[in-house]
Amino acid sequence: MTHFLDISNTETGDIRAMLDRAAAMKAARAGRPKGTPDDETPLAGRMVALIFEKPSTRTRISFDVGARQMGAETMVLSGADMQLGHGETIADTARVLSRYVDLIMIRTFEEDTLHEMAEYADVPVINGLTNQSHPCQIIADVMTYEEHRGPIADARVTWCGDGNNVFASFAHAAGRLGFDLTFSGPAQLDPEDAPMRFAAQAGRPVRIERDAATAVEGANLVVADTWVSMHDSQTARERRHNLLRPYQVNAALMAHAADDALFMHCLPAHREEEATSEVMDGPHSVIFDEAENRLHAQKAVMRWCLGV
């Protein structure tokens, strides 16, 4: 069974195949209305289940539109619709869904939910996000970097902010694709050990630099993410803002990066918090290319999982 659960357990050659296919599929759709099918419809006759325990904009729309463009039908389900893991075990849900659909994408909280779904499903399972990782985002981010600047191997990437799930997948990608990654954020929000160990064991140890300007010096890519979650309390939000304010990506910080550096943010963004509008709408920013590329990356991931 070909699941896409994380960058860390996907071989480099497979990641590269997804990136190449995503770029080719994007080029083939140039200028075409979004609702029209691709020239190839490799998912014709397939049913794709899209499960959302956590709400989403880009993940939901990109998977839904992408599956439809490739000829599939989609079924969008919330955790409340299914009572996932409450009224029925996740294992039993996986077994039942496998009788109805050809592919499952799940966006959930706990990594264990994802892995139990994959263990008991008889169809491929895709990680649409967990609290620990967000591999689909990183496929889109690497695709975006490479369409603007060429191969990401040996590029200098700096992450400013919280060592969260998206950063974890960046660390996995550094190990798989061979780029240098620096984390710049407060010690209280350092990344978890596992992705740091993975990158180090792959020969690309992540550098930690507390001073944001030093961390960004000469960077080819600067990345930020939201400082707060929709589930954070007001007290937690205030604490995070106080910790992360020195890591805001603004024009003064970007001035330390390479002249042709790119800026990315996976969105949604809280403008004037993790990044200023001057940067987000400025010449370094590729955030909307990055958002669009979720569509093409998701399509490539689905095709890879189904072997079509």
**Among 58, 134, 172, 284, the one annotated catalytic:** 134
Told to judge if 134 belongs to the known catalytic residues of this protein, a careful annotator would answer yes
| Dist CA 186 CA 207 (whole Å) | 14
Using CB atoms within 10 A of its CB, is residue 167 exposed (0-12), middle (13-18) or buried (19+)? Answer: buried
Told to judge if 69 belongs to the known catalytic residues of this protein, a careful annotator would answer no
Told to judge if 266 belongs to the known catalytic residues of this protein, a careful annotator would answer yes
H-helix or E-strand spanning residue 222? strand 221-224
**Among 136, 160, 266, 305, the one annotated catalytic:** 266
**Among 160, 225, 248, 284, the one annotated catalytic:** 225
**Among 69, 132, 137, 298, the one annotated catalytic:** 137
**Among 46, 58, 68, 107, the one annotated catalytic:** 107
Smallest CA-to-CA distance from 52 within 76, 28, 26 is with 76
Which segments of the chain does DSSP mark as H helices, in order? 12-28, 58-69, 79-82, 90-100, 111-120, 135-149, 165-177, 193-201, 212-216, 234-244, 251-254, 277-280, 287-306
Told to judge if 204 belongs to the known catalytic residues of this protein, a careful annotator would answer no
What residues are annotated to the active site?
A: 107, 134, 137, 225, 266, 294
